[in-house]
Amino acid sequence: MTLDELKKIQAAALPQISMRHTHKVENETKYTRQVLVCGGTGCTSSGSGKLIDEFTAQLEAHGLTEKVQVVRTGCFGLCELGPIVIVYPEGVFYAQCQRENIKRIVEEHIIGGKIIDDLVYHEKTSGEVKEKLFDMQFYKKQNRVALRNCGVVDPEKIEDYIAFDGYQALAKCLFEYTPEQVIDIMLASGLRGRGGAGFPTGLKWKFAAGDRGKVKKYVCCNGDEGDPGAFMDRSVLEGDPHSVIEAMAIAAYVIGADQGYIYVRAEYPIAVKRLSIAINQAREKGLLGKNIFGTDFSFDLDVRLGAGAFVCGEETALMTSIEGKRGEPRPRPPFPAVKGVFGKPTILNNVETYANIPQIILKGADWFAGMGTEKSKGTKVFALGGKIVNTGLVEVPMGTTVREIIFDIGGGIPGGKRFKAAQTGGPSGGCIPASNLDTPVDYDSLVAIGSMMGSGGLIVMDEDNCMVDIAKFFLEFTVDESCGKCTPCREGTKRMLEILTKITDGKGEDGDIEKLEELANTIKTTSLCGLGQTAPNPVLSTLRYFRDEYEAHVYEKRCPAGCCKKLAKITIDPEKCKGCSLCSKKCPVGAISGEIRKPYVIDQSKCIKCGVCLSSCKFGAISKK
């Protein structure tokens, strides 16, 4: 493909999809309306594929297939409301659509021109009807750069990507910039790796750029997203795979590589499918392979599937896995820029990092550096989960506070519960308490309060969460995922988990907390790779901010949140109990006794803390402490 041919594809494709941005029908397009249906993993699991089938059937029945286009897109971000349907050019946002709703949308909205009020989104925080995507509080503080095409383009059509300047950044690099100039742009932009460590991307490329053309080199992408609750990279690969392919080609041009690998976990079947389609399309168009754009630059890509090992998110373990070996980390130096895949110089960035690069090339380093903070430029994608109203995917400028993300964008805590903590960085990160809600989200500020950016998972917890139990949950994960190569991680994390289990079982002893701290600090400083070095973080951060909960478990044999089953105590308030006997009848072990119309009591020696009595009491007389 030549540059002129690329521009012809763009000129032909742009009018067909421009209404998604301009909200008006262009004269050149044959469509009067477009129906976008979310095809991300969340909405797909909720039946969005059936919605597409029903739209197709209804449009055929009304003879509208030539005028109304149905498009399967990537994730819109507001996963809580899936399956999501957006009708353009109006931009009307229909939430939690079911198959039986589609006939109404076609007949009443598309044919009749009337927006269906009972199907559009009613914002939970205000109760107001929010008809259009851009009216929603969820999107107002966001700035979508890495996610710019997610929910906008059809990820299985390369023409959609090209329409929005796709592969123009690669062409610009090949025809206008030397590799050294591209490195300078990346350095000036301030882009840091979005995979967790935050290493400057331009500097990483600079280290690998030596001996260009003399040594075999590789470009790799880390799509092995393993943090519990994280789905940022998956959504980019599902919704905009060509942005990653284009960025990897740019990286290959810079360092002089002709082969790349995208390492994706096999548990992401939709991402793998769309990525494979995108790679084949790019090859067919001559955007991958030999002599790209008629130049002497050649580059091709292959997908490598991971088997779900969390440790393979660490760069040296990932590269070892690409080689077909057991995914174990190795000591550094030498670093991958010197000795990576198959012992050759290699650069590795994660999906989100790559997704930013084409826009930086097209819009300039100053544009990107103008967002964010002094040391953390640009935007960051977060996966919001846990005890929050708007579960989903958000992208905000660096420096946005934790409070803004959770309450302004995320809609706050459901059920009027009190915010307790937010976990960032997954098993490698730490907990942010309510006292630090106004901390700006950037690399250095999060580290200063004992957490870390990580890849971008953000799990919200409320007053019902026990922080000791949360630390135990993440440690269980890292113990299970440790590769076992180094003793501190293999043995030390197990000993930590044993102490935490002992504490949550009500068997904690004087000195256990101190022993836990000592173990955590030793593992942190002596483990081989990032998994072991960061595994103690959830324990250390909860000890830092919620030490009183640990002490209550150990010295009072009490779980303040009432979460740890073996420490919980379910009681009946005699003032509120009406003596209806319902709780006694429901109790599976006969632990509740009493007389009708008199207060009932619970025999603590028999109670198994199942909570059946709690849910059955109609008078609020039973509580768990």
| Spatial separation of the C-alpha atoms in residues 346 and 358, rounded to whole Å | 20
**How many C-beta atoms lie closer than 10 Å to residue 63's C-beta?**
8
Contacts of 189 (CB under 8 A, 6+ apart): 202, 360, 365, 368, 369, 377, 378
Mean pLDDT of 310-331: 93
Topology alike, domains 467-555 and 570-624:
no
| Spatial separation of the C-alpha atoms in residues 118 and 272, rounded to whole Å | 36
What tokens does 372 get? 């964010």
What tokens does 546 get? 């919620």
| Spatial separation of the C-alpha atoms in residues 595 and 575, rounded to whole Å | 15
CATH level 2 (architecture), domain 158-369: 3-Layer(aba) Sandwich (3.40)
Does the pLDDT of residue 129 top 70, yes or no? Answer: no
Band (pLDDT 50/70/90 cuts) for residue 130 is low
Q: Where are the beta strands (DSSP E) in 12-115?
A: 33-38, 68-73, 85-88, 92-94
- Residue 289 phi, psi dihedral angles, 5° rounding: 115, -150
Please state, for a pLDDT cut of 90, what percent of the chain lies above it: 82
Band (pLDDT 50/70/90 cuts) for residue 134 is low
Strand order in the sheet with 92-94: 68-73, 33-38, 85-88, 92-94
CA dihedral 144, 149, 152, 158 (to 10 degrees): 170
Does the pLDDT of residue 55 top 70, yes or no? Answer: yes
Fold of 467-555: de novo design (two linked rop proteins) (1.20.1440)
Which span out of 93-97, 122-126, 128-132 was modeled with the highest average pLDDT?
93-97
| Spatial separation of the C-alpha atoms in residues 409 and 426, rounded to whole Å | 20
Query: What's the pLDDT score for residue 29?
Result: 79
- φ/ψ region of 276 (left if φ > 0, alpha if ψ in -120 to 50, else beta) reads alpha
Which residue did the predictor score with more confidence, 23 or 74?
74
Q: What is the pLDDT of residues 434-467, one digit of tens each?
A: 999 999 999 999 999 988 888 788 999 999 999 9
C-alpha distances (whole Å) from 112 to each of 14, 121, 323, 356, 620 are 27, 20, 58, 41, 50
Does the pLDDT of residue 127 top 60, yes or no? Answer: no
Mean confidence (pLDDT) of the chain: 93
Query: What's the pLDDT score for residue 226?
Result: 82
Query: What's the pLDDT score for residue 35?
Result: 96
Which span out of 17-26, 125-134, 218-227 was modeled with the highest average pLDDT?
218-227
Mean pLDDT of 201-223: 94
Q: From the options 3.40.50.300, 3.10.20.600, 1.10.3720.10, 1.20.1090.10, give the CATH code of 379-462.
A: 3.10.20.600
Query: What's the pLDDT score for residue 261?
Result: 98
Give residue for tokens 């594809």.
9
Does the pLDDT of residue 498 top 90, yes or no? Answer: yes
Query: What's the pLDDT score for residue 294?
Result: 94
**How many C-beta atoms lie closer than 10 Å to residue 566's C-beta?**
11
Q: Are 39 and 74 in contact (CB under 8 A)?
A: yes
Q: Is CATH 1.50.40.10 the right assignment for the domain spanning 570-624?
A: no
Mean pLDDT of 481-486: 91
Q: Return the domain boundaries, the chain.
A: 31-136, 158-369, 379-462, 467-555, 570-624
Q: Are 79 and 40 in contact (CB under 8 A)?
A: yes
Does the pLDDT of residue 126 top 70, yes or no? Answer: no
Query: What's the pLDDT score for residue 73?
Result: 96
Mean pLDDT of 374-383: 96
Three-class secondary structure of residue 247 per DSSP: helix
CA dihedral 174, 176, 180, 185 (to 10 degrees): -110
Band (pLDDT 50/70/90 cuts) for residue 133 is low
Contacts of 416 (CB under 8 A, 6+ apart): none
Q: Please name the helix (run of DSSP H) or strand (run of DSSP E) that holds residue 422, with its range, or none.
A: strand 419-424
Fold of 31-136: Glutaredoxin (3.40.30)
**How large is the C-alpha radius of gyration of the chain?**
27
Give residue for tokens 């030397």.
178
Does the pLDDT of residue 27 top 80, yes or no? Answer: no
Residue 157: what residue type? K
Band (pLDDT 50/70/90 cuts) for residue 417 is very high
Contacts of 593 (CB under 8 A, 6+ apart): 584, 600, 601, 603
Alpha helices of 85-240 — where are they, by DSSP H?
A: 99-104, 137-140, 158-163, 168-176, 179-189, 201-208, 232-239
| Spatial separation of the C-alpha atoms in residues 194 and 158, rounded to whole Å | 25
CA dihedral 440, 446, 451, 452 (to 10 degrees): 110
Does the pLDDT of residue 84 top 80, yes or no? Answer: yes
Does the pLDDT of residue 510 top 70, yes or no? Answer: yes
Mean pLDDT of 587-598: 94
Mean pLDDT of 383-408: 95
Please state, for a pLDDT cut of 70, what percent of the chain lies above it: 98
| Spatial separation of the C-alpha atoms in residues 210 and 160, rounded to whole Å | 36
Q: What is the pLDDT of residues 338-367, one digit of tens each?
A: 999 999 999 999 999 999 999 999 999 999
